[in-house]
Every structure is written in structure tokens, then in C-alpha cells.
Chains A and B, each alone.
Chain A
Amino acid sequence: MSNTTTTAEHQPIIVRRSFWQLAWRELRRAPPTAWFGMIVIALYIFAAVFAPWIAPYSETELVGGAYEPWSAQFLLGTDQLGRDFLSRLIYASRNTIGIAVLTTAISFTLGGLLGLLSAVLGGWVDQILGRGVDVLMAIPQLIFALVLLSIVGASLINLVLIIAVLDSTRVYRLTRAVAMNVVVMDFVEAAKLQGEKIHWIMTREVLPNILPPLTAEFGLRFCFVFLTISALSFLGLGIQPPTADWGSMVKENATLINYGNITPLLPAGAIALLTVAVNFVVDWFLHKTSGLKG
């Protein structure tokens, strides 16, 4: 036996790391695609938050003639009314991403709440909600949004509420599916026997155990909502002018494409890039949390 061991304190075998240290260790192991995704998302958030300081001109100010080419004064030229394209592109990040995040948050709260309620309560609450959601999902989302928007008009609040309600059906489905797996476990039954209230069971027993798939779903839902809002704005039924928005910017400047000018592709490319980045991060997250093979 070694005679250097002392009876004084031994080094602990299990090293406790803080949450941030563990998070950093996971980040270091992430694949390059996930890193790419996270950097791109950070850049977008930076542009959205600091837009008034980064953009050279304002969002709605007429600074030149219509459709001016790329120059030193207007880095990406001007749009169909004479507003600076680059500034509108930067401000649009704020509008589009902000509205998409808001809509996703509302849809997630609504769908998650109903899904948890459905899973915990079961019985006829589950049946009614389930059938209702099935019927709402039987109509394709874009079509249903078009029908509703044609009736109530395309204002911002209508857009947010309609898309949030339609998207909450998918969140409901997923939440109910994963929550069902947790609700049948013993600790939930024990909590029910103890007489815990519904809201306690939902938020303190079930919810913490289903957070990983829900977080991944938040990312995917954000992508879908983001693409839907852009598509609706492209069709002229989403975010209305003069608010800068990537979808409507593509539509307004579309004639430039016939002359081989790729400026209108930039807002569309911005949409694609953000969606790809979020997809990469969500892919990595899913891979980590579910240990999928292949």
C-alpha cells in the first residue's frame, strides 16, 4: 500500500460541475452544423435588437429614386418607392422575427396548456378537445388562414391570433402524446392520491419531465410559423405596408428579377437562412436528448 495516503480529506471522486460548466461542455461537443446554426441565430437576434443603431437610414424614409442600383450610398439599392433596401432589410428582421416569436409563444402556451389538461384530466375533456383538434387539423393551415383572413381582414392582431390558434393544434398533439407517457407513471398517481391540485400536477409533476421534446418542438413551430407569416405577407395578406417585412419586400420588388437583379432574393434568402439555422440547432438538440440512432 502506498504510504502517501493520509487520513486527511480525500479528493471527492464525483466532481460536481455547475449548470454553466455542463452546458459549455455540451456546446463544445456540438457538431459544426449546430455551431453554424447558433452563430447565425445570434447574428439575427443582434440585428433585430440593435436595428435602429445598425441601419444606415430609417425604415420608411424616402431617400432616393425608385429601384436605384447598388451603390456606395445605398449598399443594396432602393426599393420601389425609393426607401433604402438595406435598412428595410434590417428593420424587417425585427418585425418578422418579433411577430413570429410572439405568435409561437401564444400558440405554445395555448396548445401546451390544453395538451397538459387533456393528458392529466383524461375522460370526456380529452375526447372533446381531441376531436375538436382533429377537425381543425383536417383543413390545411395556409388555406384555413386564408379563409379566416378573408373574413376578418388582414390586420396584425388578426394575423397573430389566427396563426397562433391554428398552430396550437400541432402543439396540442405533441404535448398530449408526451404527457400521456408521464401521466401513467407512479409519481403522478401518488401526487393525485395526495390530493394535489390540477395545476400543481400539470406544472410541477408532468411539465418538467416533458421539457426536452417541447423545446425542440418550439424551434420547429417557430420555423413553421415564420414561413407561414412570410408566405401570407408575400401574398399580401400578412404584415401590411409600410411596415418592413421580408415576405412583402420580396413581392414588392419582384419585377427586378426579370432584369436579372437578385436584390429581391435577399429577404427570401434571409428567411431561408434563419429557418435552416434553427433546424440545425433543433436537429442537434433532438439528437442529444433522444439518442436516436442513424
Chain B
Amino acid sequence: MNAIVRTILQRLGLGVVTLFVVSMIISLAMAMLPSDFAQSILGQAATPDTVKAFREEIGLDRSPVIRYVDWVGGIVTGDFGMSFAGAGSLSGNRRPVIDLIQPRLMNTLFLASMTAIVAVPLALVLGMLAALYRNSLFDRTVNVVTLTAVSSPEFFLAYVLMVFFVSQWHIFPSLAKVDANTAFFERVYRCALPSLTLLLIIVAQMMRMTRAAIINLLSSPYIEMARLKGIAPRQIIFRHALPNAWAPIANVIALNLAYLVVGVVIVEAVFVYPGIGKLMVDSVQRKDLPVVQGCALIFAATYILLNLAADIVSIVTNPRLLHPR
């Protein structure tokens, strides 16, 4: 067990270092702002005094290094800074970024979990079936369908589903309006369409990768040997192929869950779902930089974490990588 724990700690350390460097890049972006952005944020209230006060408030007069350290220090204690929205108004009611992000993050996590719980088993089963019956009609049809799903832009699939489920059959609502008080089953009903869109995309990708991984596995020499020995196909699958298949499959799952993080941005925009993806898009359009930075950091952290998980699983399940010479 020692080797596994050591590997996990090493990789976690690497992930933390990467996250720090990523946060530096994101905060560096703040320094690239054109000089007149303060005027555009404050709008009508942009007198030389208010501009100067605003710049002092967000720390543009201090050096980038101090600004970065302040920001990171704030994040570690849960303070992501103040949003720019409402900066010019007389009452000065700028909201803390964390207040904006937290409920949205919960919403997105709900949507993502709902999708992942159904998608992962479905994709694994379909992928394994396609690999076992490769080059059959089932396999070829599934191949073409998943290739189309993977190549389509997410909004295409979202709108196609909308046309069928909302306009033609009137099953689901077209806008996924949820808030803090929505009951559980009502939430599931409202989130069904965005979840279905994400499901299609994720299942298609995972299925293709699972199929490729298992076909790769089934052409190994030891599987051929088992077949020549006359072992029953079910035994071959369960005792020889599957134990070696966990590594690539877990890799596939982690990579696709990481993709879910990004794909969620478009789907939330289409269905106007109040999640963190929609928040980020809206903030980008309003040039509300602290919110954009906070969201980007959360996305990057999730992405790094999931890629890390994929890395760790592929090392831990492969004895050759676990105990390198």
C-alpha cells in the first residue's frame, strides 16, 4: 500500500503546484486590462475621482505580485473578492463574488451528478457490447450515431432535443428554471432536458473510448492464449480481460467527467439554467472580472483534479508503473 499512497501524494502535490501556476496566469490576466476599463465599468458615474477610488479599491495601483498574494490569501479563506457589478451606483452595493458563485455551483453540481450517474454505467455497458460484437450491424450503427453526436456542436443537440421534447411532444419545459426552493423531483423534472443533452454527448464519447480500450485489450497475446486454451468466453472476459480493463476505463471516465465541466457551459446557456457556466458567460459579457476569475479558477481546479484522478488510477492499476525500476 505504501507505493500507492506515495504515488497519490506525489501526484496531489503536482496538482497543487499546477493549480498555483494556473491561478497566477488567471490573475495575470487582470494586469492585461486596457487602461480605460475602469471608465467602462463605472459608466455614467465615471468622474476622475471615482475612477481613482475604484482603481484603488480593486488594487490596480499596487504591484501585481501583492495583488496576487492578496487574492490567493482571500481565496484560501473563502473570500473571492467583490464583484464589479454595481460598482458605479451611489449605494455601492457590490456583492461578494462567493455569494454569486455558491448557489450556482450547487446547481451545476446537481446537474453534473444527475448526468454522470446515468451516463457512466450506460456508456460502459454500450462500449463493452460494441467491443464484443465489433463490426456487427449493432457496432456499426452505434459507431455512426456516436460519431455524429461527438462531432455536433452542443447547442445543435440541445436544440434538436428541444424541438422534439418541447415543441412537438410537450413533455419538458424549455427553460430550466430552478432556484433554492425547488423541491427535489421538481428539480429533476426541470433539469431533464439539459441533463439529456449532456448525457448524449458524454455517453457518445465514453462509449467510443471504452470500445477502443477493450478492443485494444482483446487483441493482446494473453487473451488469444486463453481463447486457444479453450476457456469459455465469459471466463475470458471476467477473469482475464476485465481486471486489465479497469485502468483505461477509469481513465476514460475521469477524462469525460472533466469534459462535462466544460460542456456544461454551453448547455446552461441554451436552457438558461442558473449554473456556474451561465454565470461565467454572463460575467464575461458584462466584463465582471472578479467573477470571471473565480469561476475560471473553480473550473480549472475541477479539471486538474479529474485529470489527476485519471493519472493516479492508470498508475496505480499498472504494476509496472507503480514500482518503476
Interface-side segment among B74-82, B180-188, B237-245, B292-300:
B292-300
Task: Verify if B262 is at the interface (C-beta below 8 Å from A).
Answer: yes
Contacting pair B292 A146 (CB below 8 A): yes
Chain A residues touching B, range: 35 or more
Quick one: CB contact mask for B194-206 with A, threshold 8 Å, 1 for yes? 0000000000000
Q: Residue on A with the closest CB to B289?
A: A150
Task: Verify if B26 is at the interface (C-beta below 8 Å from A).
Answer: yes
Chain B residues touching A, range: 35 or more
Q: A142-B265, A143-B265, A147-B292 are in contact. Are A294 and B148 (CB under 8 A)?
A: no
Q: Residue on B with the closest CB to A277?
A: B151
Inside 8 A of A151's CB, which chain B residues have their CB? 29-30, 32-33, 289
Task: Verify if B155 is at the interface (C-beta below 8 Å from A).
Answer: yes
Interface-side segment among A68-76, A122-130, A231-239:
A231-239
Contacting pair A271 B281 (CB below 8 A): no
The answer, among B156, B174, B269, B293, for a CB contact under 8 Å with A268, is: B156
Quick one: CB contact mask for A21-56 with B, threshold 8 Å, 1 for yes? 000000000000100000000000000000000000
Main secondary structure on B side of the interface with A: helix
Inside 8 A of B155's CB, which chain A residues have their CB? 231, 234, 247, 250-251, 268
Alpha-carbon distance A59/B55, docked complex (angstroms): 43
Q: A268-B159, A276-B148 are in contact. Are A143 and B289 (CB under 8 A)?
A: no
Rounded to whole Å, the gap between the CB of B99 and the closest CB of chain A is 20
Alpha-carbon distance A143/B34, docked complex (angstroms): 21
Inside 8 A of A251's CB, which chain B residues have their CB? 155
Contacting pair A275 B152 (CB below 8 A): yes
> Which residues of A from 256 to 274 have beta carbons under 8 Å from B?
257-260, 262, 264-265, 268-269, 271-272
Contacting pair B29 A143 (CB below 8 A): no
Alpha-carbon distance A237/B292, docked complex (angstroms): 14
Rounded to whole Å, the gap between the CB of B202 and the closest CB of chain A is 15
Rounded to whole Å, the gap between the CB of B170 and the closest CB of chain A is 10
Quick one: CB contact mask for B94-135 with A, threshold 8 Å, 1 for yes? 000000000000000000000000000000000000000010
Contacting pair B156 A269 (CB below 8 A): yes
Interface-side segment among B64-72, B160-168, B224-232, B315-323:
B160-168
Q: A147-B292, A151-B32 are in contact. Are A135 and B215 (CB under 8 A)?
A: no
Rounded to whole Å, the gap between the CB of B142 and the closest CB of chain A is 14
Contacting pair A140 B258 (CB below 8 A): yes
Alpha-carbon distance A115/B296, docked complex (angstroms): 28
Q: Give 11 CB contacts A-B under 8 Å.
A: A138-B19, A147-B296, A150-B283, A150-B287, A227-B153, A250-B155, A251-B155, A257-B159, A265-B159, A275-B151, A294-B216
Which residues of B come within 8 Å of A, CB atoms? Answer: 18-19, 21-22, 25-26, 29-30, 32-34, 134, 144, 147-148, 150-156, 159-160, 162-163, 166-168, 174, 215-216, 219, 258, 261-262, 265-266, 269-270, 280-281, 283-285, 287, 289, 292-293, 295-296, 299-300, 303-304, 307
Which residues of A come within 8 Å of B, CB atoms? Answer: 33, 134-136, 138-144, 146-152, 223, 227, 230-231, 234-237, 247, 250-251, 254, 257-260, 262, 264-265, 268-269, 271-272, 275-276, 279-280, 293-294
